[in-house]
């Protein structure tokens, strides 16, 4: 099969724990691009947080961000696709989060808003490459399109089930880190966003490779002609992939591209 498009997750897949791309991964990805294979990033991060890695790879393609809630071109910043959360839902989530004393962040296309800068600001600055803004979140929800809600707590597992029971039919939940839950609009996932990118380039489903390490990658792994799980992925994800590659610390992305594209 001549694969024409590769969608790669960032954290736990392309990046190491220090948020670096290995020299081998860089070299192999650039070799694939020279063969006219389209490489894109597919991440739960917002666009601003994905952009430095796209720039390092010299990508000039739409990037899948916020777990598929937005698809934005790395070079032109053109928005190809974006789906925001319903205002009423956001206000309900904020009300319940406040009752449980959870820390909440609202993501728009370009910015992250919190009510207390002491909560998660340093994490956002490191992970999202974004300057967090302090604001009344209910006012932001009424004024701006919100594409992702993140809430966190050291005892998140105590609240996650209740939140899912209350809102699970109205939106999509993703558990990213053990103390983070991310909410995007219902029907939003990396697989649907990957379909948008493929359609833009007239690429058939069977000509796509998708590589990821966690359950927010499952939809694109299932959609792609070749769905790949990282060696460091959970066993349940591996069992649903077409191929299991090496772990991130053994350049699993490079292994896939070498095996199925360069060779």
Residues annotated as catalytic are 9
DSSP for 130-187, written as a single string: ---EE--HHHHHHHS---EEEEE-TTTHHHHHHHHHHHTTTEEEEE-STTEEEEEETT
- Return the number of other C-beta atoms located less than 10 Å from residue 165's C-beta: 9
Query: Cα-flanking dihedrals φ and ψ of residue 210, to 5°?
Result: -125, 135
Which helix (H) or strand (E) is 25 found in, with range? Answer: helix 23-34
Across 37-156, the runs of DSSP E, i.e. the strands, are 38-41, 62-65, 70-73, 79-82, 103-107, 112-114, 133-134, 148-152
CB 253 within 8 A of CB 25: yes
243: helix, strand or coil: strand
As given in the structure block, the two tokens for residue 45 are 């991060």
């Amino acid at each position: 099969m001549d694969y024409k498009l590769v969608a790669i997750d960032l954290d736990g897949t392309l990046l190491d724990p220090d948020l670096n791309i290995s020299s081998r991964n860089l070299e192999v990805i650039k070799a694939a691009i020279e063969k006219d294979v389209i490489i894109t990033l597919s991440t739960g991060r917002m666009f601003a947080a994905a952009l430095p890695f796209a720039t390092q790879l010299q990508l000039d393609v739409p990037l899948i961000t916020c777990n598929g809630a937005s698809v934005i071109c790395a070079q032109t910043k053109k928005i190809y696709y974006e789906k925001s959360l319903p205002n009423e839902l956001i206000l309900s989530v904020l009300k319940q989060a406040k009752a449980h004393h959870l820390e909440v962040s609202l993501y728009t296309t370009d910015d992250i808003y919190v009510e207390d800068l002491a909560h998660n600001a340093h994490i956002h600055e490191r992970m999202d490459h974004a300057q967090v803004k302090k604001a009344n979140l209910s006012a932001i929800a009424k004024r701006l399109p919100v594409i992702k809600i993140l809430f966190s707590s050291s005892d998140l597992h105590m609240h996650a089930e209740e939140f899912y029971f209350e809102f699970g039919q109205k939106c999509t939940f993703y558990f990213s880190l053990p103390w983070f839950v991310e909410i995007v609009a219902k029907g939003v996932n990396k697989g649907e966003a990957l379909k948008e990118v493929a359609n833009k380039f007239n690429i058939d489903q069977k000509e796509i490779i998708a590589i990821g390490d966690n359950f927010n990658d499952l939809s694109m792994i299932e959609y792609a002609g070749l769905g790949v799980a990282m060696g460091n992925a959970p066993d349940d994800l591996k069992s649903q992939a077409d191929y299991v590659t090496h772990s991130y610390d053994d350049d699993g992305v490079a292994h896939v591209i070498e095996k199925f594209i360069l060779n």
